[in-house]
Structure 1
Amino acid sequence: MFYRTTVLIMAQTFDTVKSKLEQMFDFTRTTRYAGDVTKGALT
């Protein structure tokens, strides 16, 4: 029982970290895209 609970907690933590990383990656990709658009509009 204890082992199963630990595995569940680890899986939940992994999911949370994974979604956090995906959000961060999306954010950096979006800002980079916005920077490229701004650069293109200025030149």
Structure 2
Amino acid sequence: MNRLFKYVYAVRRVGNRIKAWHRPTYYIIKWTLFGTIFVGVFFAL
């Protein structure tokens, strides 16, 4: 679990840095990622 958290925390830091830099870009990336995951799960079935 600790090994996984190291990578999750690194991604979170990048997300926070993008959010502090330019909030609209952060939300575009966030929802694109969610959409990609949703489509991947939906079409994998």
Task: Specify the structure having the higher radius of gyration (Cα).
Answer: 1
2:37 matches 1:25: no
Give structure 1 stretches of 5+ with no counterpart: 1-9, 37-43
Identity of aligned residues (%): 11
2:23 alignment partner in structure 1? 14
Q: CA RMSD, aligned part only? A: 2.2
Higher relative contact order (CA 8 A, sep 6+): 2
**Normalised by the size of structure 1, how large is the TM-score?**
0.54
Give structure 2 stretches of 5+ with no counterpart: 1-18
Q: In the TM superposition, what whole-angstrom CA distance separates every residue of 1:1-43 from its partner, at most 9, and x where no partner exists? A: xxxxxxxxx787110000100000000000000111xxxxxxx
